Amino acid sequence: MPVPAALATHYQQLLGLVRPWKIADINLDILQQRLDITLEWPRGRKAPCPECGKRCGLKDHLPERTWRHLDSMQFKTFLHCRIPRSECPTHGARTITVPWAESGSQWTLLFEAFAVLVMEQVASLNKAAKLLGVSWKEAQTLRKQAVRRGLARRSIDEIEYVGIDEKSFGKKERFITVLTDLTGERVLDVAPSKSSESAKTVLTVIPEEVRQEVQAVAMDMSAAMEKACREELPAADIVYDKFHIEKHLSDAMGKVRAREHKRLMAEGIPIFKRTRFLFLRRKERWSEKQRAQYRDIKREFGATRFSQSRIGRMWAAKESFRPFWNYVSKAWAEKFFRHWYFWATHSRIPELIRVAKMIEAHLDNILTYFRHGITNAFTEGMNSKIQEIKSAARGFRNFENYRIAILFYCGKLDMRPQK
């Protein structure tokens, strides 16, 4: 039964269908709440070769294919078509390009664009799938196609600074390696494990000629990552991340407090009970409760006794290291460190001495901070975002799905399909 001209024109306009494509059939199923629209290329009409664009005669038609389209009101909408093949004298039989979908896709361009928008706003793939009316597997395929599209369009022609870090993937201490563009504030790629080979894998995402221009890479004190960076980024300085160094000092502070608190408790002195976060947080960030707690320690334990205790001396050493990062001159920063190092290594606090010697052994790659001023703060922020992605998905069993999710939300990719 021929489709009424007015109805055909109506749906042709809604679909944005360009001539000579036309609507051959429309079937509305009220019970199934489904709308099926059949499209066709007019018989006898020449079609352009997808390779050279030359208009050629038709060879034949492929079996009918179906594409999911945006819903029409409350009705799921599907497009159907037997796509013709052109007979090009140069390239032979070629399937012509359809204007409503990408090659090989089972969804229209408009549906894929809408799906990307929904998934960008909904962290849980299960919830996004329900909103879109597709299965979880189909939603995962849509996300993979979006990332593939975004990576194909992505430009990596100029990168000044990069950050590389590790992130927990799952149980049994499994890790992933994350590479970030610190200037462009985006994740460039992710690789399984935290080995030197994994670091090389993510670094080679950057074109070789661009790698030669990278000025510095921010990282923690990982020998495996440093080895990979030396090989793949020959002109880049290694900048050990200041937040990792401060973490080592904080860890030492925690161990000293725990050991001394245990010893004092044995003597019946509970003054350092519930003070773990007091000595880990910066003094200027203390809450009123913590300020009062500190006043109680000085009053009841004694200000002089506290300053001479291992907890007091460890805390003073940790806090006194902070001005190191405020220097502008590398030479003055090194001079400051030498004074601090002498004090720390003569403190008779084993945990502090170990950290001081570790910093001294890596000082060259710490002082590069004063040339470039970069940290892995953005990368650490991305690690928090990645943790949110993992939590929303209730974890990942498959690394590739994890990588796709990270690039989808953190890669700053242009993922929407274009006509």
Which tens digits make up the pLDDT trace of 402-419? 999 999 999 999 999 986
Q: What is the mean pLDDT of residues 236-254?
A: 94
Residue 1 pLDDT exceeds 70: no
Contact at 8 Å (CB) between 375 and 218? yes
Residue 64, phi then psi, degrees to nearest 5: -60, 135
Residue 46 pLDDT exceeds 90: no
Per-residue confidence (pLDDT) for residue 83, from 0 to 100:
92
Contact at 8 Å (CB) between 70 and 110? yes
Sign, CA dihedral 325-327-333-336, equals negative
All residues at 6 or more sequence positions from 34 whose CB lies less than 8 Å from its CB, including other chains: 28, 75, 76, 77, 78
Percent of the chain's residues with pLDDT above 70: 98
Is residue 87 within a helix (H) or strand (E), and if so which, with residue range? strand 84-88
Q: What is the mean pLDDT of residues 190-196?
A: 88
> Could you report the per-residue pLDDT of 65-85, keeping only the tens digit for each?
999 999 998 899 999 999 998
Q: What is the mean pLDDT of residues 337-342?
A: 97
Residue 205 pLDDT exceeds 90: yes
Q: Which CATH architecture has domain 109-241+395-419?
A: 2-Layer Sandwich (3.30)
Q: What value does the mean pLDDT of the chain take?
A: 91
Q: Name the token pair of 193.
A: 């494990």
All residues at 6 or more sequence positions from 136 whose CB lies less than 8 Å from its CB, including other chains: 125, 126, 129
Per-residue confidence (pLDDT) for residue 55, from 0 to 100:
87
Q: pTM for this one? A: 0.84
pLDDT band of residue 170 (cuts 50, 70, 90) is: low
Percent of the chain's residues with pLDDT above 90: 64
pLDDT band of residue 284 (cuts 50, 70, 90) is: confident
What three-state secondary structure class fits 417? Answer: coil
Per-residue confidence (pLDDT) for residue 359, from 0 to 100:
96
The side-by-side arrangement of strands in the sheet containing 34-40 is: 22-29, 34-40, 75-81, 65-72
Residue 378 pLDDT exceeds 70: yes
Sign, CA dihedral 285-287-290-292, equals positive
The percent of the chain in helix, strand and coil, each rounded to the nearest 5, is 50, 20, 30
Which region among 37-46, 127-136, 245-254, 331-340 has the lowest average model confidence (pLDDT)? 37-46
Question: What are the residue boundaries of the structural domains of the chain, listed by start?
Answer: 1-100, 109-241+395-419, 243-372
Residue 12 pLDDT exceeds 90: no
Give bridge partners of residue 35 from the DSSP assignment.
28, 77
d(CA 110, CA 417): 8
> Could you report the per-residue pLDDT of 265-275, keeping only the tens digit for each?
998 889 898 89
Per-residue confidence (pLDDT) for residue 169, from 0 to 100:
66
pLDDT band of residue 312 (cuts 50, 70, 90) is: very high
Per-residue confidence (pLDDT) for residue 327, from 0 to 100:
93
